[in-house]
Structure 1
Amino acid sequence: MHIVSRAILVSFYSQPAHADAREAIEAWFAIAQKAQWRSPADVKAQFGNASIVGNNRAVFNIKANDYRLIVAFAYRMQWAYVKFIGTHAQYDAVDAATVDQTQLKEPPWKSIPSAPSRTTRPRWPPLPS
């Protein structure tokens, strides 16, 4: 799968408050990048704890369910679009079938006190590659 919006994942785990998610996010990314999923059933076969939520989206539990990752799939094209990454509490506040962090002015973790200043924070939303 070609993973779109990887910058969202990197921006998320680059925040000091979420640095503990880096290893788990990168592990998910490595698996997903090598995968050739053709259907939600293929996703479930590889990630049994993933939830299929409609709109060709799946929710992945990251780092023992401390974090949630929502990805939309274009199976025929082999594209996976990162739509959301956040804490379990942040996930509870969104609609998994429609959320799209790339459309937000700022990511939900901006308000974290330990986040770097605006001058050192990666650009949000990320520029298309």
Structure 2
Amino acid sequence: KWFKPQDIVETFGAKAVDIIKNNRVVIDVKGNKIRIIAKYQFPSARLYIKWIGTHAEYDKLKKNNQQYDIDLFK
């Protein structure tokens, strides 16, 4: 069960997870080819998928600081 963001990192591995602001994490999938932005909620230990895309698409989001607010699956 997750109680803090570091618990998510320990589940998926430090190389696969970046903790960002607004209660979000970025998870690298398929050898860092795919990125998932998810919002975490404690103490329910849930991740809500907010965005899925390629590494290049994520870089575009990051360039515009959209990784903190994007929500494609409302």
Q: Shorter-chain TM-score: which interval?
A: 0.7 to 0.9
Larger radius of gyration: 1
TM-superposed deviation, 1:77: 2.3
Identical positions, percent:
32
One of 20, 26, 46 as aligned partner of 1:79? 46
1:52 alignment partner, SS class: strand
How many angstroms does 1:45 deviate by? 1.6
Which structure shows the bigger proportion of residues in helix conformation?
1
The gaps in structure 2 that reach 5 residues or longer are: none
Aligned residue number for residue 101 of structure 1: 72
Moved over 6 A (4+): none
CA RMSD, aligned part only? 1.2
Kindly provide the CA deviation profile for residues 72-100 of structure 1, in whole angstroms up to 9, marking residues without a partner as x. Answer: 01111222100011001111122221111
Which residue matches 2:29?
62
TM-score, length of structure 1 as denominator length: 0.49
* Alpha-carbon separation, structure 1, partners of 2:25 and 2:72: 15
Matches within 5 A, 1:25-64: 36-46=1-11, 47-49=13-15, 50-64=17-31
